[in-house]
Structures are given as structure tokens and as C-alpha cells.
Amino acid sequence: MTNPSLRLTSPLVLALALAACATAGPGPLASSIGRGIPPGEASADIAPLGDLVAGVNIPYERFELANGLTVLVHTDRKAPIIGVTTHYTVGSKHEPRGRTGFAHLFEHLMFGGSENVPNFDIPLESAGSTPTNGSTWYDRTNYVQVVPTGALDRVLMMEADRMGFLLGAVTQDKLDKQRGVVQNEKRQGDNQPYGLADYIVSEELLPVGHPYRHSTIGSMADLSAADLSDVRKWFRDHYGPNNVVLALTGDIDAATARPLVEKWFGDIPRGPEVRAVEAPVVTLPAAKTRDITDAVPVTRITRTWTGPGITHPDATALQVGMYVLGGLASSRLDNALVRGDELAVRVSAGALVFEQISQLSAEFDLKPGEDRATAQARFDAIIANYIAQGPTQDELTRAATQIVSGQIGALERVGNFGGKGMTLAEGLVYQGDPASYKKDLEEIAALTPERVRKALATWLGRPALTLAVVPGERTLDGAKLGGWGDEATTPPPAPDARKPVPAIRSGAPRQIPPVADVGALPFPALERARLSNGVPVLLARRTAVPKVTVNLRFDAGFSVDAPDEAGVHSLMVEAMDDGTRTRDAARIAEDQERLGASISAGSGLDADDVTLTALTANLAPSLALMADIVQNPAFTEKDVARVKDQRLAEIGQQLASPQGIAGRALLPIVYGDQHPYGRVGSAGTAAAIGAVTRERLAAEHGRWLRPDTAAFTVVGDVTMAELLPRLEAAFGTWRANRMARPVKTLPTAGVPAQTRLVVIDRPNSPQSVIYAGRVLPVTGGTAGLEALDLANEVLGDGFLSRLNLLIREEKGWSYGVRSGVSAPKGQRLLTVAAPVQSDRTGESIALILSTMNDLATGKTGVNAEEFARVTDGSIRGLPNRFETNGQVLGALLALQARGLPDDYYTRLPETYRALTPQALDAAAKRYLGGSDLAIVVVGDRKAIDPQLARLGLPIEVREAN
């Protein structure tokens, strides 16, 4: 089954290795660790699980309007922001035959404006909403905003307006455009490696007509058939206030909220109750096996069972049981297939739980060169043994501790997906109790091995589907998948005939409320110290949740690789937590799980980051383990061989993904393959990884990861007086070796700026991925570039940017277009990323170039509405940028990397207010034009070559590798 379908894509430029690694923050190669304590051995250093569960609490008040709207209010005054989460109890399971995908399509239409609000995004983003988004899944549709306190009146008016005053604003033109966007969202998902597997799993597990069988994204034919009469019926049948839970969380209380909610929502009439659907759990009569071929690097074997819904007595036991099987870092499958027999390069298992049914699945990616039958037999034996014996008490305790620690971390967010508002709303929608999260955690903590074993035996003892996705040619057509399931015998619905519908008006006009001014930014005070070995420490104390995030940054990064060793440095960083002199990889994983701690180790462009997130109560032992990993990596022959295999598989995955291919190609083209930034990204090349030895990794570690290249940045619930002794105990005796501190050089890019088009063939791709870039004549440390940042927001950085509005919203050719400006220590890089439908590849490139040139030449300079939106929105949205410890950590790392003063963020509002449209125009003229761009296009050459030829640009054809 598909993941929840979102209206907005994440910024695609993050797929570029440079953009992902140059902006500071924890690296992408994550693994978790904790303190070494043998199973069953008590320790006063570890907080009891019961105490952790008791600390998870989201107090709330509840009231209901006469029209049935249910409102939940949670007060959290840590920041002047409010999360607004609106849950409609309707999802794709309610769709009739011939209209699959309609719930999600309607979600997109809900952002297109109402009778009193021509465009939802402009007034929300100018008010500082971060994010403005929505998602759809089988059981529900939700909408989320997090806004400054002074914008609550506006947001409530707008949410009420689309609940009660939508239909008069929905036109055929809007329907057609959003249909195109959603179809490109489907193409984008289908275009990924293994992108068709979820369709097949649902088709094989569930019978035709089962509400959970068809995908949330739907089929192309059904999306094309949706018409305006469907829109009106869907709205009237499902979007009444009596089918809605509204959660307000943050700087708000019920006494303040109630009159505002009454004011805007009170006169909206009730609608029909959403109809219940029959969706029984289905048991296969016999085990099923199916193989499909796809353009994938390795064979993936997935075993899936149907399971019970969220309120079933076995649901929690199954979730934890599957987590032990393949979710924990020390899972049964990891220890046996990846670390033990080394038959797989990746494993996973989990329970995907919906309101009425669930999917229970376990899978592995076959290690290249290994025999599939042997690996699959071992996989089967592990599962059979686990079903028979169940988990140990130690496994359950470790799993419960990790789950509770994650829930404590989620308490940082008042809104957004997964925040406190969504936790309360989904508890009420699915389980009839906003506080069901608390009962779930208490049940998890109380689980016994026997209870989990019985649940696993009951549900995993039934026949399962085994699906193998095997490397080869893709023969399935994603456009024909995702529908009702009887398309082979029943003609698809006729396309939308665009029949005229009478104009309607839902009520008297309403005015959009103004937004109150935002007060001073509540940025934490900064404290500094040094350890006895000279390592600097920067602390920002925050007490919202009892957790601490500790970042240890080294002045290195994968740019230190020699041209023929791309990927070696990042492999060393990744391999550190695969074993120390006293702990193997399994022991490290088990130790961290007992503490509810996690450590990520990753290499960015200019720095390496080892980041610990720990419960405050377990900080000292967590730091001790972090120190062991940093200072004492073993780099054994076996561990290095395993990590090399996993990295080679990662490179294979990149070369199977259109975004991965484009990202690996762009950097060497724009910087030159001899420049430190001109590598293919942190993963490196297969040749370099294949040749590396344990001795080479040990030498790389000794050269770069040392106290005189290191600095601590800490954010969270700890004082400097508490922190320093703990850091000193863990890291104070660490000394630099006798080698001189290494020096990095960052020369000017050696490739002349020139317009060039590089085409990489990827047959049968329904979309083309366009990545474009140009090196800029400024470095990441250059001060005073705020005008460039805001000019780039106008161009392509955000939903309302020109590129996204034109190619996604106006043309419907893409699910999202983004531009970005990286901020490394060396020369910055301008990037544009656009996945577009194949038959619009050439036109999309032409539009990107003309839009950039029109802005840069002043033909269409920054207008008053754009200027107000990006300046006001950036100022009002600042509190949202520092809600969590992780966000504050990223900001502090950026401050240090760019040499900015401590008060930079608190002064940022006045910096923005001092800018003018002319300043943004000047920045666009200097940096954001469409000339001299290197453009990489990954797509089906049969479809795109004639289009590209018409552009009149010099074309070079390359291979994916």
C-alpha cells in the first residue's frame, strides 16, 4: 500500500548531494547506539521504562459545536506558535468504483481557493505558516499549518471557508490542473526503483472491491474521469463539520479558542454522516508467490500478511513484535541476514496499521552474488523460528524504550505531521480517545513475550504473499495499476466530459482577517566552554522535553577525498559504529536501544557529524558510548567487508533511481571532477569502494577525526554545569595524534561556465528528471546574502515560487519544481530540480530558462505581492524554524560554519525589513539568471530526444554510470 499521499513534495534539490550536505546538520548515514549493559543487568544509570512512559503527556480540553465539529485544545507556551490540524474522517477507502484516487485529488483542490479566499497559500505563507500542507490515506484526510499566534484568526477563517464556502470557487480549470499535478505525483512514485511493488501486494492480498485494495493515488483512468459533479457530491457527502476533528495546539487555550471557532465555524450546517464501509480482514486460502521484473539493482523479497485493525487486542503486540523482527537496529533479521550469514544488504519488518485492517510485512534485499534460494530459505527459517518462540523480554524492553523515546521527541512539535495535534486528533478519530497514545505506550511497556508470541502465531501463522522484485526490464505499466482491480474485464470510465455545472454561492462574503505583529524571536541564550583537551563546547539550553542533542562536528567532510577515492572518507565515518575494540555491531545496537538513545554518523561536503540524541536521564552513559564509537572504531575485516557491500548496494540504488543518476552526474559537471566538490556525492564510486581496505579506513580516521578538528554543539534539557563533567568524563582524555593537523584546500571551480545539456537514457521512464546547476562567484561564508535567499524564494524555493506555480500549478506537468542555493565553505551552487512528465520535457526546460531570465533581466522583476510574501512570511515564520532541538542545532551549526554572530537570528527580522524589491532584483540579476546552466536530463530518450533537439542547446549523451 502506498504511503500517505501529500500535496507538497519535499524540496527536490535535497536529492543533490551538495545541497544535502552543505547546509549543516546531522549527516545522512544514520545508525543508533547506546550504553553497554548486559541483558537483565540492572543499572542505576538507566531511567526505568515506567518513568519514561509517565513523562509522556499531552493534556487537552475538548468541546463540540452544535453542528458537530469537535475541537481539541492543548496549551504549550514554549513558543508563540499554534498548530492547526484538521482531520476529516474520509479517505480513499470511501471511494466508489471508477473514482479511485478521488479523495486525494479533492485534497489538492481544497488548496485552490474558496469563495472568499482566492488562493490559500498566499495569505497563509505571508502570515508565516510553516508548513501549509495536507495528506490523504485510506481512513482520513488532514490539513496542517503551524502559524504565529497572531495569525490564528486568519487560519481559522480560511479553514472554515473551505469547509463551508468551497464549491463556488472550484472550476473546471482548477480541476484539470490539479488532476495533472496528481497524475505526475503518481508518475513520480511509479518511476522509482521498486515503485510498483505496493500495487502488486494489495492486488494479491485483497479481493476486487475491498476498500483497502486500490491505492490512495488511484489509477490514471479514474483520475481522468473525475468531473465537477463528482467534486460537489464528494464535498457534500463527506466534508461536513460533524465529520471533522479540529486540533489547536501550542500558544492557545480553550477559553481563547472557543469564541474564535464559534465565530468562523458555527454557522456551517451539518452534513451527512460519513458512511461506514465493510472492510474485513482477509485470509488467503493458500500461500501465494509472485515474481516481477523491474529496473532495480538487487532482488528484493517481501513477505506480507493481512492483519487486524488498530483497535484489535492484538494490534499493539503485533506492532512491537514486527519491530523486534526487523525494525530495531538489533533486529532478528539484521543480526541473522546482514551481520550474521551476510546474505542480505538490507532488511526490514513492520506493521502498517489502519483503522480496519493492517499489513504485516518482512523483507530483505539480496546481497549481490548470493544464491536467492539459500537466502530465502534462511529468511523463512528465521521467521518460522520467531513465530514459534517469540521475542525475549530483553528484546521487548529495548523495543519499548525506543518507541517511548521517540514519542517523547515527538512532543517537541505542536503541529505538523506527527506532532501533538495529529496525535490527539488521530487518537479520537481511530480509537475514540485523544489520549489513546498514553494507553498504547502503557500497553507496550507491559507486553510479555508470551502475549507477543501468541499474536505472532495467530496472524503470521496464516498463508502469506511472497513477492520478489527481480532485476530486469520493467514490464508492468504503472499507469494501469492502482485502480479497482477489474479493469481487465470492465472498461475504464470515460474521461471527464467537462459538462457545464451551474454556478453556486454558499453564503455571504467574508473578509480575511489581518495578522497581528510577531514579537521578538525567542532564541535560546548561548553558553561556551572548552574541555581540558581544548575541544570547544557550545550549549543552547531548552527544557521543553527531557532530551538532549549532542553534535560532534569534525572539520573534514567527503570533499577531502582524492579524485580516485570518492566515497572512502564517508565510508570510514559510516563504519565507525559497526564495531569498537570492545563492542561488535550487534552489541552497539542493543546498547543504544536500552537507553532510548540514537547516534547518527555521516559525512557532509565540508564536515563530518556524529550526533547523539539522548534522554536527559540517560545522558552520561549515552555519551560514554558515543565516545567509544568516535575514539575506538575497530574497522575489523569482517565489518569493513559488510559495510563495503552495503555501500556498493547503495550506489546501485542510486544508479537505478532517476534522481540518484542526475544527482551523481551534476556535481562533476559544474565543479569539474578534479575539484573537491566535484565528486559524485558522499556514496562515491564502486571502484573506489571496492578497493578500500581496513588499514586505509583506520588511517583516514586517524588523519581527520581528532580533537583538534572537533567541536561540540549541544541543545536540550541540560545546564552547562551538568554537561561539562559528563563530556569531560567521556571525551576529556582524548588526545590528538602526533601528525600535523590536516589542511583542506578549496580552489576556484575549474570548469568554465557554459550552457550545456547532458542527456542520460533511462528507458520506459514515465517522467524525466531535470537537474540544472551553476557555480556562483560567492562562498558559503559570504555575509549579507539575505537578498539572494529571498530572491531565490521568489524564483523556486517554495510552493508559491514562480517555477513551481508555473510548471506545477499552471501547467500541471510536475508534482513539484524547486531551486536552491547551497552554502558550503567554498563556492555556492545554484540548482534547479524538476521531475516532469516525459512529453513535456523540452517545454519545461524552456520555461525554466525563460522564467529565470525574465527575473534576472528585470523583464518581470520582483513584484509587490512577492516581496511582501517572502519578507513578511520569513519574519513571521521565524518562530517555526526553532521549535525543536534539531532545528536549533541546525541553526547553530550554520552560524558556526558561516562565521555569523550569535545574535544573527534575533536580528534577522530587522535585516529582512531593511531589504527592498530593488535589492532582490539586484541579487537575481547577479546570481539567478538562466544562462550558463549545466542541465542534466534523465529520461526515456525515445520520448525526449526530439523535444530536446528543438531547444537549440549543445547536447551530450552519457551513460548512467
Specify the pLDDT at position 130: 85
Specify the pLDDT at position 33: 23
Range of lowest pLDDT (72-81, 199-208, 504-513): 504-513
Grid cell, residue 941, equals 530518450
Q: How many CB atoms lie within 10 A of CB 170?
A: 23
Average pLDDT over the chain, rounded to an integer: 92
- DSSP assignment of 674-692 equals TSTT-SS-TT--HHHHHH-
User: What's the rounded mean pLDDT across residues 761-767?
Assistant: 95
Residue type, 676: P
The torsion angles phi and psi of 516, rounded to 5 degrees, stand at -70, 155
Q: What is the DSSP code (8-state) at residue 505?
A: -
Tell me the pLDDT tens digit for each residue of 539-559: 999 999 999 999 999 999 999
- Cell numbers 508492468 correspond to 476
Find the helix packing angle between 420-431 and 436-446, rounded to 10°: 80
Tell me the pLDDT tens digit for each residue of 334-350: 999 999 999 999 999 99
- Cell numbers 554510470 correspond to 961
Pairing state between β 288-294 and 465-471: parallel
Tell me the pLDDT tens digit for each residue of 830-885: 999 999 999 999 999 999 999 999 999 999 999 999 999 999 999 999 999 999 99
The sign of the dihedral angle between the CA atoms of 656, 657, 659, 664 is: negative
Closest C-alpha to 297, from 470, 476, 468: 470
Q: Which residues pair with 550 in a beta bridge?
A: 612, 714
Q: Would you say 646 and 575 are in contact if contact means Cβ atoms under 8 Å apart?
A: no
Specify the pLDDT at position 31: 25
Residue type, 481: L
CA–CA distance, 92 with 144 (Å, rounded to integer) = 19
CA–CA distance, 883 with 361 (Å, rounded to integer) = 35
- Cell numbers 488521530 correspond to 426
Specify the pLDDT at position 366: 98
Closest C-alpha to 838, from 772, 771, 766, 770: 766
Specify the pLDDT at position 37: 33
Grid cell, residue 263, equals 465565530
Query: Is the pLDDT at 534 greater than 50, yes or no?
Result: yes
Closest C-alpha to 12, from 890, 870, 825, 797: 797
Specify the pLDDT at position 2: 38
Tell me the pLDDT tens digit for each residue of 877-912: 999 999 999 999 999 999 999 999 999 999 999 999
HEC readout, 310-350: CCCCCHHHHHHHHHHHHCCCCCHHHHHHHCCCCCEEEEEEE
CA–CA distance, 617 with 595 (Å, rounded to integer) = 9
Closest C-alpha to 852, from 801, 811, 809: 801
Q: Would you say 154 and 109 are in contact if contact means Cβ atoms under 8 Å apart?
A: no
- Cell numbers 490540524 correspond to 85
Grid cell, residue 470, equals 527481480
Cis-peptide into 879, omega within 30 deg = no
Angle ∠(368,369,373) on CA atoms, nearest 5? 100
Specify the pLDDT at position 738: 77
Q: Would you say 835 and 841 are in contact if contact means Cβ atoms under 8 Å apart?
A: no
Pairing state between β 70-75 and 244-250: parallel
Specify the pLDDT at position 16: 32
CA–CA distance, 916 with 872 (Å, rounded to integer) = 12
Tell me the pLDDT tens digit for each residue of 476-486: 999 999 999 99
User: What's the rounded mean pLDDT across residues 489-504?
Assistant: 88
Q: Would you say 264 and 156 are in contact if contact means Cβ atoms under 8 Å apart?
A: yes
List Cα–Cα distances, 758 to 665, 764, 836, 838, 954, in angstroms: 9, 18, 16, 16, 9
Greatest extent of the chain over all pairs of C-alpha atoms, in Å? 82
Pairing state between β 756-761 and 934-939: parallel
CA–CA distance, 828 with 778 (Å, rounded to integer) = 6
Give the model's confidence band at 46: pLDDT under 50 very low, under 70 low, under 90 confident, else very high: confident
Grid cell, residue 449, equals 513475550
Q: What is the DSSP code (8-state) at residue 580?
A: B
Tell me the pLDDT tens digit for each residue of 93-127: 999 999 999 999 999 999 999 999 998 899 999 89
User: What's the rounded mean pLDDT across residues 278-297?
Assistant: 97
Range of lowest pLDDT (179-193, 462-476, 494-508, 799-813): 494-508
Burial of 120 (0-12, 13-18, 19+ CB in 10 A): buried
Which helix or strand (DSSP H or E) is residue 719 part of? none
Closest C-alpha to 937, from 848, 827, 815: 848
The torsion angles phi and psi of 159, rounded to 5 degrees, stand at -65, -40
Give the model's confidence band at 10: pLDDT under 50 very low, under 70 low, under 90 confident, else very high: very low
Which helix or strand (DSSP H or E) is residue 135 part of? strand 132-136
User: What's the rounded mean pLDDT across residues 276-283?
Assistant: 96
Find the helix packing angle between 172-190 and 102-109, rounded to 10°: 120
- Count the helix, strand and coil residues of the chain and give each as a percent rounded to the nearest 5: 45, 20, 40
CA–CA distance, 295 with 573 (Å, rounded to integer) = 30
Q: Which residues pair with 288 in a beta bridge?
A: 465
For the chain, how far is it from start to end, CA to CA, in angstroms? 31
Length of the chain: 961
CA–CA distance, 473 with 475 (Å, rounded to integer) = 6
Q: Is 932 left (phi over 0), alpha (psi -120 to 50) or beta?
A: left
CA–CA distance, 598 with 408 (Å, rounded to integer) = 13
CA–CA distance, 49 with 400 (Å, rounded to integer) = 8
What is the side-by-side order of every strand in the sheet holding 244-250? 5-6, 132-136, 141-148, 81-88, 244-250, 70-75, 61-64
Which helix or strand (DSSP H or E) is residue 721 part of? helix 720-731
CA–CA distance, 126 with 284 (Å, rounded to integer) = 52
Specify the pLDDT at position 502: 87
- Cell numbers 559504529 correspond to 577
Give the model's confidence band at 5: pLDDT under 50 very low, under 70 low, under 90 confident, else very high: low
CA–CA distance, 404 with 615 (Å, rounded to integer) = 10
Closest C-alpha to 312, from 463, 430, 216, 424: 430
Closest C-alpha to 639, from 693, 684, 590: 693
Specify the pLDDT at position 35: 23
The torsion angles phi and psi of 524, rounded to 5 degrees, stand at -65, 150
User: What's the rounded mean pLDDT across residues 620-648?
Assistant: 96
Specify the pLDDT at position 752: 79
Q: How many CB atoms lie within 10 A of CB 260?
A: 18
Closest C-alpha to 93, from 209, 201, 178, 204: 209
Query: Is the pLDDT at 24 greater than 60, yes or no?
Result: no
- Indicate the pTM of the whole model: 0.93
Q: How many CB atoms lie within 10 A of CB 283?
A: 11
Query: Is the pLDDT at 232 greater than 60, yes or no?
Result: yes
